[in-house]
Structure 1
Amino acid sequence: MKFRDGMWLVAEGTTIEYAEQVYSITERADKKALSLLCPTRRISNRGDVLNRSTLTIDIEAVSDGIISVESTHWAGAVRKGPNFELFPDSAPEVEATITTASERTILSAGALTATVAGASQPFRIDFKGANGRVLTDLRERSVGLAYNPPISNMQQTGDMRNIQHHVFTQTTLGVGESVHGLGERFGPFNKVGQAVQLWNADGGTSSDQAYKNVSFWMSSRGYGVFIDTPEKVELEIGSERCCRLQTSVEGQRLKWFIIDGPTPKDVLRRYAKLTGQASSVPEWSYGLWLSTSFTTDYDEKTVTAFLEGMKKAAIPVDVFHFDCFWLKAFQWCDFAFDKEKFPDPAGQIKRMKDSGLCKKVSVWTNPYLGQASPLFAEAAANGYLLKRKNGDVFQWDLWQAGMAIVDFTNPAARTWFQGMITSLLDIGIDSIKTDFGERIPAEDVVWHDGSDPGRMHNYYSVLYNETVYAAMTERFGKGEAVLFARAAAAGSQRFPLQWGGDCESTPEAMAESLRGGLGFGLSGFAFWSVDIGGFEGNPPPWLYKRWVAFGLLCSHSRLHGSDSVRVPWAIDNDDQSDEGATAVLRTFVQIKAKLGAYIQAEAAKSVRDGLPLSLRAMCIEFPNDPTSWSLDRQFMLGSSLIVAPVFEEDGSVEFYLPEGRWTSFISGEVKEGPRWIKEVHRLDSVPLYVREGTVLPLRAEGGEISLKAYGIKAGEVGKVEEIVEGALKEREVTVDEAMLALKKTEVNVDEAALAPKEEEVTVDEATLAPKEKEVTVDEAVLA
């Protein structure tokens, strides 16, 4: 929201008051916090303290590398929930100090410092990170409050019912600084120049709306900011004042945390501690998911035909997904298969699994109840549904006729809903697609626990997915539950996974989705997926095949559409050539399976460190390369693989390789960076490059794992042993029974890396261990 008209004028219809001076500073007794009293005019005599507003700015050392800043106008405002759960795993210790010198007061949280100017100086708070790096600051006229419509005297604020009140801060954007994250946003990767509203909405992927608004952003200067409120937040990112990032909320308080790096990995690791680390997902979830699509007509016979067709094509399906119409029309959601289409769901699911047609089964659901649902009357009578202020159940005809919303602030409603989920698990369902959760009303509603409707709008997605995830974790165990969710907010990373929502079947929408995935990964989420081929429309065969390459190199991969199916033979009239849709899909399913051990290993590190597995923005791995902060058409899969999807029908693609030697995983060709590369790829190929110094665990069809080294030169084979031993300690290599003795493992060094080429370099038992000694991986490593 803009409060000014250019640099000199206040916006029409607005009154603004700024913190002009730090009048006094109070140290908290534990020496971990400062409270600043900041009047909105400079105080030169006693009379100046009258008829004047103040802002209280509380600064606290929260954790090493994290400082919170909270600006408050009227402290008596009721603090309604919900609130983000901070440090859900445990509150950390912090090494905090307060020092005062030369009219400056410095609060430190480890190496991160906040320096406050004294009363005789203009208002200013400077933030510096490790090694004295300048991060950002709050300068003159950067913290304030605003009234809309404008007020002419303070007496008018006696009745605030028709007056909007905002508080805001403006942190400085440095020269060349870029800003990234804020959830799954589909516009430009760098948010500088944009006005962003954090308000979950079901708007597809071609607008400024987002399903997943996450109040966290990352700066190219090596710090991040988490805005600690689930309510609507409006940001002007260099779009009101070009040199400032303004954050505003309607209310009396605004709190955010500045998180030091110096690297993006450091920032994300600290952010994960603050809001919760992602949970692990089961191994089978990384395979191919096949959906019925949304409005297509299907029954048991259709499902069986899809799966048998995939088996005939030698394309294994790990998860089969039943989308909306497994339920009877108008009865969403009643958690019961449509008996006309699926007379024996439990039996059907068992047959699907027993015959090897798929490993697991997923079904679609949402947190709404249409009036025709057999469960509606029960839920309404028991108080499980959101109500209007007059006591009526909240209903509208958007999506489902007479639709109501489950009130997850009611513990009894949560237990009831979890019982419905458990009933699905009882018949063999393994995963739940938790769709919707964005269009949650913020006016004329009352939540069971008294939560503020404006704050609940975004936070509802957290409650909804937490409820379902808890039921599944109770059944399957920690790390074995997995959702397929659309809506999210800060903290939702604990309940994986999420997918990118409704994209069109166009190359532009594929690029939009990629940008959304990059921003989402920079917001603390480890796992992400996309509807391969696009959701809306019918993808032309060339685009489907290019999207297959993109989608199979995301952390999770699902074929899904709206009113058209995504089985490959339906895309190109069952073209049986080596560049037909069936062959292309088979190729990339095989590539992902071959990389399975690597993906699992990188997933474990991603969960541990708060990193995205895929899509991982290039700047996470190469923060010192300025080009990496602008790359929005390529990504990393884990720490060692670059993926550059192809968006052109002729197969042409341009991408960037950072410094070092890079080897094509598909062709074996070696290229040097840093430089831009132009290539033309067949439909069954994509730029997929391996980082120098990588030892990839590769899984063969039979399950055996071998390790292949990239960029290891002759005479440097000892590095392989070091990498492998370190990898095992870090659980980077998934080890099965065939690898219980390291002497059975052969590590091949790519010929392109050898000098001279005639010298074959392998790592055998003599390299890995004395010949007479067998090295095994014990249970402690495997656990």
Structure 2
Amino acid sequence: MKFTDGFWLMRDGVEASYATEVRDVRAGDDRFTAFAAVKRVERRGDTLNAPLLTVDCFSPAEGVIGVTVTHLAGRRHRGPDFALPGADTGAGQVRRDGDIVELTSGALGVRLDAGAPWTLSFRDPGGREVASVGRKGTAFLTTGDGAHHMAGQLSLGVGEQVYGLGERFTPFVKNGQVVDMWQADGGTSSEQAYKNIPFSLHVSPTGAYGVFVDHPGKVGYEIGSESVGQMQFSVEDQTLTYYVVAGPEPKDVLRRYTALTGRPALPPAWSFGLWLTTSFTTQYDEATVTKFVDGMAERDIPLSVFHFDCFWMREYQWSDFAWDPDVFPDPEGMLARLKERGLRISVWINPYIAQKSALFDEAAELGYLVRTAGGDIWQWDLWQAGMGLVDFTNPDACAWFQAKLKVLLDQGVDCFKTDFGERIPTDVVWHDGSDPERMHNYYTHLYNKVVFDLLEKERGSGEAVLFARSAAAGGQQFPVHWGGDCWSSFGAMAESLRGGLSLSLSGFGFWSHDIGGFEGTPDPAVFKRWLQFGLLSSHSRLHGSSSYRVPWEFGDEAVDVARQFTKLKHRLMPYLYGAAVEAHRTGVPLMRPMLLDFPGDPTARTLDRQYMLGPDLLVAPVFSADGDVEYYLPEGTWTHLLTGEQVQGPVWRSERHGFDSLPLYVRPGAVLPLGADTSRPDGDWLTDLSLLVAPGGAENGTVTVSVPDHQGRAAATFEVVRDAAGAVRVTAPQGRDVPKVVRSAR
């Protein structure tokens, strides 16, 4: 929210009170509290009739400094709050020398000079200032409508660029933008977002750090857009808590942030294959589904998951979790027949209960639907007629909801598409007394957790996977998330990629999108290019709204592209699943912006039309009908995965590609394990394994390649040794065949 009118004045009705000078400091062993007056105190009388801000500095985890600023402490705290599973109280250490108070936690510290005008200086172990809070950086403000806001400002250094803040489809670099954390079903073509994460990643020529605003409600950001040298964040509250997360590299920031808020679960290997859906409003029954599955098999396009979208249930009754008997008279038999073909099954759900559904009366009688302040069940007709909303703050309602889903699991369903979760009212009363404004964004976290917990319980650890649209901070623990409703155009394809890259810098390890776009019907060129992009993403799903997305609807060449790139992804699975294990263990995403792997390359920091898929594979999707593409290769010798062509970077390239190709390069010196089984993503990765050894590695260097099993454990580890003449020697563990060395993936 903007409060000022230019640099000198305030907007009409706004009154600001800024921390100005320190009046007292109380230092403990692992935290300190400063009391800041909002004006200069020159005589005793100045302490009267004036506010005092309480500023607590502490460390919830190694390398993380927390700051809580409070104006009036008596307001009842109603929650909800972000869960911080990695919090470790007492992680910091305080040192005081006269007026200087310092709190240090691992690679980060904060320094306060109580004898100087108010400032907080965040510093690395060498004493270099990472970020600072200046004279207007700690404040509360009141507006003409009586609202009370807490605001913080952190300096933006010269050349510092800001990323993240959830899945945002606006420009990739957030400098100059106004961003509000407020869940909305706004598609991919607006400033609204399904996944609002109040975490920003800051990268500059001197290093990186992160900022996490610990407030689940609406957080307003001004990123160099009000005070151009500051990032401001504000909440309508009496208290504001934020954390500064140490680097020095961007990956270090994500490791620390996800250690605090939760690491992503490891999705099952089968989920990385191709998903095919019925699409949304299309006509379908078992015959249609069987025709689609047969068509994929006849055309030799491997299929891993079949998804039933909304109309598997009866109209006007979503979600009642009952198959439409007129369309699917034998759901158990149908699911068994599909599973005999090696398919996993996904079904669409949401947390709304339509009035026509029998579950509405049941949930209403049990008190499981959200109510208004007057005691009525909250309802509206948007989406489903007369629908109510399940109250996931009620443990009994959570168990009731899970019991309904368990029936589907017992029938043969393997996973759920957890749609919606954004349109959450604020004029309601929650079972646990939560603040409706804070619950608006946080609701999706409870929703996805309830479903994910059930899958882990019923299917076992390592088998749970969602296809979720909305998320809050910490939601990365419940993968996978997809990009929401996009148009069927090259522009929307690029929007989707920007959103995914932004989300990956917000702690989310796995991300997907609707191949071909959701709204409308793509022309064949868009569909074929989106196939390449989708099958070189973390997860791959064919889905649309009013038209089918089976490849033959778009011509024989689309069938060829689908076949080629599905099989390529299966061949890459030993490598991709290793990168997935890294995301699970460290929080470094599978699908990542170039800046994560090349933070020292200034060109890499703004790239949003290409990405790294894991640490060693560069992908530049084609966003044009004629196949023209412009992309950048950082320093070193890059090898095209499909052709073996070698290109020396750093270099910008402009090329034209047919539908069987795109810029797809192996990082200099990398070794990619390639499987032989192209029929499925969860096959035997070690039988007939080959290694693509890319040039550009160190002479006489050794690269260790570990191939995981389907549970993420190391199944086999190989040593690849290069000599000065360029010869490659591979050693295998006892009992394993030595993989052959190849030049390309073809």
TM tier relative to shorter chain: over 0.9
1:320 aligns with 2:306: yes
Deviations 1:211-245 (A, max 9, x none): 00011110003100111110100000000010001
| CA distance 1:512–1:775, shift in 2 (3 Å) | closer
More displaced stretch, 558-567 vs 652-661: 652-661
Cα distance between partner residues in 2 of 1:660 and 1:495: 37
Once the two structures are superposed, the pairs formed by residues 133-148 of structure 1 within 5 Å of their partners are: 133-148=128-143
Deviations 1:426-482 (A, max 9, x none): 000001000000000112x10000000011011100000000111111111112100
1:763 aligns with 2:745: no
**In the alignment, which of 253, 256, 259 is matched to residue 273 of structure 1?**
259
**In the alignment, which of 357, 360, 365 is matched to residue 381 of structure 1?**
365
Give the match for residue 198 of structure 2.
215
The amino acid across from 1:105 in the alignment is V
The answer (yes or no) to whether the contact 2:31–2:92 under 8 Å persists in 1 is no
1:353 aligns with 2:339: yes
Q: Could you tell me which runs of 5 or more consecutive residues in structure 1 were left unpaired when the two chains were aligned.
A: 150-161, 778-783
| CA distance 1:43–1:50, shift in 2 (3 Å) | same
Deviations 1:633-671 (A, max 9, x none): 011101000100000111111111111111000111011
- Offset at residue 32 of structure 1 (A): 1.1
1:601 aligns with 2:578: yes
CA RMSD in angstroms, aligned pairs only: 2.2
Cα distance between partner residues in 1 of 2:71 and 2:468: 37
Once the two structures are superposed, the pairs formed by residues 417-496 of structure 1 within 5 Å of their partners are: 417-443=401-427, 445-496=428-479
- Offset at residue 91 of structure 1 (A): 2.7
The answer (yes or no) to whether the contact 2:370–2:391 under 8 Å persists in 1 is yes
SS in 1 for 2:566: helix
Give the match for residue 100 of structure 1.
97
Once the two structures are superposed, the pairs formed by residues 254-269 of structure 1 within 5 Å of their partners are: 254-269=240-255
The answer (yes or no) to whether the contact 1:172–1:243 under 8 Å persists in 2 is yes
Cα distance between partner residues in 2 of 1:219 and 1:125: 18
Cα distance between partner residues in 2 of 1:294 and 1:19: 54
Give the match for residue 671 of structure 2.
695
The amino acid across from 2:64 in the alignment is I
Cα distance between partner residues in 1 of 2:656 and 2:667: 21
Deviations 1:728-778 (A, max 9, x none): 699999876xx7xx8xx89799xxx9968xxxx4535xx557xxx75799x
The amino acid across from 1:591 in the alignment is L
Once the two structures are superposed, the pairs formed by residues 124-135 of structure 1 within 5 Å of their partners are: 124-135=119-130
1:370 aligns with 2:354: yes
Cα distance between partner residues in 2 of 1:715 and 1:456: 53
Aligned length: 728
SS in 2 for 1:462: helix
**In the alignment, which of 137, 147, 151 is matched to residue 164 of structure 1?**
147
1:62 aligns with 2:60: yes
| CA distance 1:322–1:733, shift in 2 (3 Å) | closer
The amino acid across from 1:459 in the alignment is Y
- Offset at residue 61 of structure 1 (A): 2.5
SS in 2 for 1:654: strand
SS in 1 for 2:136: strand
- Offset at residue 420 of structure 1 (A): 0.8
Cα distance between partner residues in 1 of 2:721 and 2:211: 44
SS in 2 for 1:236: strand
Cα distance between partner residues in 2 of 1:734 and 1:479: 12
The amino acid across from 2:438 in the alignment is R
Cα distance between partner residues in 2 of 1:680 and 1:589: 22
Cα distance between partner residues in 2 of 1:394 and 1:638: 45
The amino acid across from 1:239 in the alignment is S
Deviations 1:27-79 (A, max 9, x none): 12xx1111111111011100000111121111112322110011110011111
- Offset at residue 706 of structure 1 (A): 2.1
**In the alignment, which of 269, 272, 290 is matched to residue 283 of structure 1?**
269
SS in 2 for 1:140: coil
| CA distance 1:290–1:268, shift in 2 (3 Å) | same
Cα distance between partner residues in 2 of 1:313 and 1:461: 39
The amino acid across from 1:430 in the alignment is D
The answer (yes or no) to whether the contact 1:707–1:746 under 8 Å persists in 2 is no
| CA distance 1:735–1:707, shift in 2 (3 Å) | farther
The amino acid across from 1:710 in the alignment is V
The amino acid across from 2:363 in the alignment is A
The answer (yes or no) to whether the contact 1:193–1:238 under 8 Å persists in 2 is yes
- Offset at residue 719 of structure 1 (A): 3.4
Cα distance between partner residues in 2 of 1:269 and 1:631: 22
1:623 aligns with 2:599: yes
The amino acid across from 1:137 in the alignment is S
The amino acid across from 1:26 in the alignment is R
The answer (yes or no) to whether the contact 2:261–2:474 under 8 Å persists in 1 is yes
Give the match for residue 18 of structure 1.
18
**In the alignment, which of 541, 547, 560 is matched to residue 564 of structure 1?**
547
The answer (yes or no) to whether the contact 1:597–1:734 under 8 Å persists in 2 is no
| CA distance 1:305–1:543, shift in 2 (3 Å) | same
| CA distance 1:544–1:568, shift in 2 (3 Å) | same
**In the alignment, which of 245, 249, 270 is matched to residue 235 of structure 2?**
249
The amino acid across from 2:636 in the alignment is G
The amino acid across from 2:275 in the alignment is W
The answer (yes or no) to whether the contact 1:697–1:733 under 8 Å persists in 2 is no
Cα distance between partner residues in 1 of 2:188 and 2:422: 14
- Offset at residue 131 of structure 1 (A): 3.0
1:613 aligns with 2:590: yes
| CA distance 1:374–1:612, shift in 2 (3 Å) | same
The answer (yes or no) to whether the contact 2:669–2:697 under 8 Å persists in 1 is no
SS in 2 for 1:588: helix
The answer (yes or no) to whether the contact 2:335–2:345 under 8 Å persists in 1 is yes
**In the alignment, which of 525, 530, 533 is matched to residue 513 of structure 2?**
530
The answer (yes or no) to whether the contact 1:708–1:748 under 8 Å persists in 2 is no
SS in 2 for 1:675: strand
The answer (yes or no) to whether the contact 2:119–2:134 under 8 Å persists in 1 is yes
SS in 2 for 1:257: strand
- Offset at residue 678 of structure 1 (A): 1.4
Cα distance between partner residues in 1 of 2:155 and 2:309: 47
Q: Could you tell me which runs of 5 or more consecutive residues in structure 2 were left unpaired when the two chains were aligned.
A: 679-683, 739-746
Cα distance between partner residues in 2 of 1:44 and 1:92: 38
SS in 1 for 2:629: strand
Give the match for residue 542 of structure 1.
525
The answer (yes or no) to whether the contact 1:545–1:684 under 8 Å persists in 2 is no
The answer (yes or no) to whether the contact 2:719–2:732 under 8 Å persists in 1 is no
**In the alignment, which of 614, 628, 634 is matched to residue 658 of structure 1?**
634
Give the match for residue 588 of structure 1.
565
The answer (yes or no) to whether the contact 2:61–2:87 under 8 Å persists in 1 is no
Give the match for residue 109 of structure 1.
105
Cα distance between partner residues in 1 of 2:298 and 2:709: 39
Give the match for residue 704 of structure 2.
723
Cα distance between partner residues in 1 of 2:220 and 2:582: 33
The amino acid across from 1:394 in the alignment is W
Q: TM-score, with normalisation over the residues of structure 2?
A: 0.94
- Offset at residue 673 of structure 1 (A): 1.3
The answer (yes or no) to whether the contact 2:170–2:190 under 8 Å persists in 1 is yes
| CA distance 1:251–1:642, shift in 2 (3 Å) | same
Cα distance between partner residues in 2 of 1:730 and 1:605: 13
Deviations 1:708-728 (A, max 9, x none): 243347994x635x423xx36
**In the alignment, which of 176, 185, 191 is matched to residue 174 of structure 2?**
191
SS in 2 for 1:251: coil
The amino acid across from 2:94 in the alignment is T
Give the match for residue 744 of structure 2.
none
